Structure 1
Amino acid sequence: MSWKSTSTAKFWWIGKPLYTSQLEEGLACHIPEQFAGVLARNQLQTLQPTRYPSAYVVNTDDAGQPGKHWTVFVCEKDHCDFFDSFDCSPEVYGQDFADFARRQGPLRHNTRRIQGNQSAVCGHYCFFYLWHKFHVPSPHALSVFQSNLTENDRLVHAWAHHHFPCLSFEDGETCLGFMNDNMLELMDLS
């Protein structure tokens, strides 16, 4: 059976986010040489990578808060890649994100939104992005996702369950639950 057809959950797109411990467990197992940590936004203030490449999954919430949306920074010696399934630049997520990106040198980031509004699978997209970046390096890895955001969410959810079966997936809120009107306008989600 293909991983594209393994998801049978009827309403999975309403919830089932990944939590810090799940991301740490999965990434430490699958990309141990590159994985450098799962962080909260305010932990970026003093962070300086000690090896390259260093892959960080960063939540847009500060430490001690419930968590809102997962993103990825991959720091290389000469540049930094930023991945966000909502196609936002680091600046959208505040000064800590913007300053960290600036300190890392030239920034590259994805330029196409792939996650839907009613989805909580941002962590799944982070898994997908990092797994492909380090196991199947291709500038076209994200091209599997199309303009149908709900279908993209279903696809990445099924992929994560196939590639990371030891992880438990729990119910939770949607990633967009935290967005305020200003961020929605910046991201042009209407």
Structure 2
Amino acid sequence: MNYAIIGFGKIGQALAHAFARRNIDVTVASRRSSEALAPQARAIGPTVVARSLREALEADTIILAVPFEQHREVAKALPDWKGKTVIDAMNSLAPLEEMDGLLSSVYAAKAFSGANYVKAFNHLIAATLATDPVVEGGHRVVFLSSDDEDATAPVAALARQLGFAPVKLGKLDEGGALVHARGRVWGPLIFQDLFRKE
């Protein structure tokens, strides 16, 4: 299994720190060139490598850490997403009317036709996400939601590998609603820094 983070702002860099902490190889890419990203990537750790978007999209598992309005641009970069796992770490405050009345992840998932689509890593602020998730004898919780039960298993495994405690919330329009922003109001589990003893 290989991994890529698309988007190298605060959330993308926080996730890169999580990979580096566990010495897990990850590709990072954004709209900026790989040469522009390389110094930041190297500063995070030797397992974090900046590449072009095209190269990053060769990964099996792709984490979307771009601003929500850029997800379609990323989706168009591949003609078919079949066989890919896409982890949605984005948040949106766009009104539901602008998303056909759908929650943001349900709406975004439509652009990634054929992908195994999972909402995860979106509810923590970047500063918290970047810190070691093993705290006070427990593990920081990350919430997972997907319309495909089989898709959540490898994402839960990745979360555990990174030191987090995955908690499955159900489908995107059910449990996933708890970690979605809607109507300019954050979902009830957004920004909740919870721990689970293992």
TM-score grouping bracket, smaller chain normalisation: 0.3 to 0.5
Greater share of helix = 1
Return the structure number with greater strand share.
2
Q: Which has the higher contact order (CA 8 A, sep 6+)?
A: 1
* TM-score when normalising by structure 1: 0.35
What TM-score results when the alignment is normalised by the length of structure 2? 0.34
